Amino acid sequence: MENNPIGALMQNTMESVKNILKVDTVVGDPIFTPDGIMLVPISRISVGFGGGGVEFSKKEGETRPYGGGNATGVKIEPIGFLIIKDGVVRMVNVTPPASTTVDRVIDLVPQVMDRIDAFIDKHNEDKDNKK
C-alpha cells in the first residue's frame, strides 16, 4: 500500500470538524439585558466520524487504483442558559428534565455552588461579629 490518499482525506475532514467545534459553540457569547442580567447560552455537541478505503489491484497505466470516503455528523443542541445577576448564577434548562443520575447532578451544580457561597458568607459574617 503505497501512499494512498486516506490520510489526507481524514485530515481534511478532521480540520473541518475542528473549525466547527470551538468553545464558542458550546458556551455562546453573553447577552446583556438592559436591567443588568447576563445570559450565556450553553449547548451540547455530539460528533460521529467514520471513514474507510480500499486499494484495487493495479492495471497497466494506472497510478493509484484507490477508492475511499468518509462521513462526519455534527449535532449542536441548545441545553440552557446561565443567568448571572448581582453575582448570583443560575442555570435555566431548555431541555427536558434530566433522565440519568449524572445529568441530575450536573443540573444541581449551580444551586449547590450558590448554597456553598451563602454558607461561606454567613460563616465569615459570624466570625466578624464575634471579634
State the pLDDT confidence band at 123, using cuts at 50, 70 and 90.
confident
**Does a structural domain hold residue 50?**
yes
State the pLDDT confidence band at 9, using cuts at 50, 70 and 90.
confident
**Could you report how far apart the first and last alpha carbons of the chain are, in Å?**
79
**Does a structural domain hold residue 88?**
no
Q: What is the pLDDT of residue 38?
A: 93
Q: Where are the beta strands (DSSP E) in the chain?
A: 31-32, 38-55, 66-85, 88-93
User: Mean pLDDT over residues 27-36, rounded?
Assistant: 90
Q: Under a CB-based contact definition with an 8 Å cutoff, are residues 56 and 66 in contact?
A: yes
Poorest-pLDDT segment among 8-12, 50-54, 64-68, 109-113: 64-68
pLDDT at 66 > cutoff 80: no
Q: What is the pLDDT of residue 63?
A: 67
**Does a structural domain hold residue 91?**
no
**Does a structural domain hold residue 114?**
yes
Do 13 and 75 have their domain in common? yes
> How does the average pLDDT of the chain come out, rounded?
80
State the pLDDT confidence band at 32, using cuts at 50, 70 and 90.
very high
User: Mean pLDDT over residues 78-91, rounded?
Assistant: 88
Do 105 and 76 have their domain in common? no
Provide the number of structural domains found in the chain: 2
Domain hosting residue 2, numbered range: 1-81
Using CA atoms, how far apart are residues 54 and 50, in angstroms rounded to an integer? Answer: 14
pTM of the model: 0.52
